[in-house]
Chain A
Amino acid sequence: MNNIIATSHLSKSFKAKQAVADVSLAVNEGDIYGLIGENGAGKTTFMRMLCGLASPTSGTISLFGSPDLERGRRMMGCTIESPALYPLLSGRENLEVYRLLFGIRDKTLPDTLLSLVGLGSDEKKKAKDYSLGMKQRLMIAIALIGDPKLLILDEPMNGLDPLGIKEIRDLLLYLNKEKKITIVISSHILEELSKIATRYGVIHQGKLIKEFAAAELEKSGRKFLEISVDDTNAALNLLERSGFSGGDIVGGDGHIELAGHFDEGAEIIDLLVRKGIRVNYLARKEDSLEGYFMSLIGGNKQ
């Protein structure tokens, strides 16, 4: 597997503040690499360095296996922070600027890309009149100009409605699977990220504290039953006496989380009902990316 991005001890300081500290990270060809972290953790600064918008204080970047970053960036498409568009130009005209910039002869390219991102019917509308979701899509279309092999997307799902999020998710999966484009993506919507990412990097206070694959997340994810009853103390005592140990009362509504008995839900309901305890619901749960992320961050809070 080739490294599309490799950083070595990459750091960036702004006066006294260290925004990115000693990040050594590798993104492989074909990855959808989810970069996660709190606000101000250093994700955007890290991405800006990859895109050539900020120069590292120290450390090195290699793109497509080469330290020639200008060449590498010609094979990249980026959207960093808020959508950057010419507001008085239409969506088609915005794309035309970049078609000319790249010297691409195919004059139908803007229309093709607009259709790809679902803006085909809004080609003449000025960008200033676009909704935030439409702007995000147009930015992805701009990032796709020049037939990139790598996309770096900073919060591309910001401001999108649920349908828009699904469309962007489907588009990214299509680009990754069909067009073989490697994607680095940051998002605060971890549930969405977990639906597409194949690998993750967690940045906290400027440092890369963990890298893991999606399969690893699945393995490490804690599985448990969430049980809501009318008398949690009585239910917990009963479960422990009956051999269903490992339960705990959690949450504001006082439900029980029971680990280690993931496949014994039916028996547990039967036991509780027979002893006169009313069961509101019982659900099989698994620690999500969010839970895993929170545990990582919690473990690293100073």
Chain B
Amino acid sequence: MKNIIRAEFYKLYHSKTLWICLTLAIIVALVIPFGIKAAISAQEPDYIDKTWSAMTVYNYGLSHPMLTLVIALFVTLTSVGEFHFGTMKNYLSKGIRRESVFLAKAIVSALGATAIFLVFEGVLFLTANGLFGFDGSSIFSGAAFAASFFLVWLLLLAYTSLLLMVVFVAKNGMAAIGINICLVSLFPTLLGALNFLFGKSAFKPTSLWLDSMLSGASLLPLSNSAIIFASVGSLGYLAASLAFGIWRFKKADIK
């Protein structure tokens, strides 16, 4: 496993995908605070200093859809090439265990996604700090923020494993890219529409999806239900995606 991870890191370091996704994350993280400032300045110039701070912008960025989209691109593009270029054949024909290949990919994808997450939030925080100042509203405790940050990170890891599972099940470049972009962008909208079918019922399909859990976990102060949904949901999606991905991959014929 250690050798597979080393080989994966070597490829990651020499590929453009990680650097492009990190650059994209930095650009988005720069645009968001400037966008917020421009939008609010246009409406009510004095309102900015009272409500928005580095912490609130930072917190807003935790569940930003662009973050999940960049991570989706990263996970898909770094893994789908193995099937698209046929290099997965080289791995497997060398007697490397399939579960080891999948888990190594999952670990490297998770670390890459974590790097994107940290860079995104770091740039967002520094930019927001420069524009709005540090936590003028002072409404969040450090512990609550750390819990939120940790839960969001767990949910992003769950997203990563789910996206990776799709790549390994689809085994086709265009299909995997299409499905994964739909998963992070269109699927939440579809579930939102399904909510209407349940009318006034307490159950909402969106509440079971990672996107909704991300929003809940990034909303401070954290509610108990958000903590439970995010914890159980992230671990559930993570375990289910890894188990299903390995099971399908072990059975699949590789072309």
Which residues of A approach B to under 8 Å, CB–CB? 48, 51-55, 69-78, 80-89, 93, 96-98, 100-103, 142, 145-146, 152
Contact = CB atoms under 8 A, between A and B. Distances in A.
Given A74-B94, A97-B10, A98-B90, A55 B253 contact: yes
Contact of B10 (A48, A74, A81, A100): A100
Interface in B45-92: 81, 85-92
Contacts of A97: 7, 10-11
Nearest to A146: B94
A73 B95 contact: yes
Nearest to B87: A84
Interface in B232-255: 251, 253-255
Interface residues of B, number: 28
Contact of A73 (B81, B94, B253, B255): B94
Contacts of B255: 53, 81
Contact of B3 (A48, A80, A103): A103
Interface string B220-234: 000000000000000
Given A70-B97, A89-B11, A84 B90 contact: yes
B96 interface: yes
Contacts of B7: 97-98, 100-101
Interface in B2-38: 2-4, 6-7, 10-11, 14-16
A51 B98 CA distance: 13
A53 B87 contact: no
Given A69-B95, A97-B10, A146-B94, 18 more contacts: A51-B89, A76-B95, A77-B93, A78-B89, A78-B90, A80-B93, A82-B86, A86-B11, A86-B87, A87-B85, A89-B11, A93-B10, A96-B10, A97-B11, A100-B3, A100-B6, A102-B3, A102-B94
Contact of A81 (B86, B91, B92, B96): B86
Contacts of B11: 86, 89, 97
A88 B14 contact: yes
Nearest to A14: B253
Contacts of A96: 10
Contacts of A102: 3, 94
Contact of A52 (B3, B4, B85, B93): B93
Contact of A93 (B14, B16, B93, B97): B14
A55 B85 CA distance: 21
Contacts of A69: 95
Given A100-B7, A101-B7, A102-B3, A51 B85 contact: no
A78 B254 CA distance: 14
B90 A142 contact: yes
B85 A84 contact: yes
A88 B16 contact: yes
A97 B16 CA distance: 16
16 contacts: A48-B253, A51-B92, A53-B92, A53-B93, A53-B255, A77-B94, A78-B90, A84-B86, A85-B85, A97-B7, A98-B90, A100-B3, A100-B10, A101-B3, A101-B91, A101-B94
B238 to A, nearest CB: 26
Contacts of B251: 55
B82 to A, nearest CB: 9
A117 to B, nearest CB: 15
A101 B4 contact: yes
Contacts of A82: 86
Specify which of B85, B93, B254 lies most central, judged by the most chain A CB atoms within 10 Å of its CB.
B93
Contacts of B93: 51-53, 73, 76-78, 80, 152
A88 B90 CA distance: 17
Specify which of B4, B14, B87, B90 lies most central, judged by the most chain A CB atoms within 10 Å of its CB.
B90
Nearest to B15: A88
Contacts of A76: 93-95
Contacts of B89: 51, 53, 78, 80-81, 84
Specify which of B15, B85, B91 lies most central, judged by the most chain A CB atoms within 10 Å of its CB.
B85
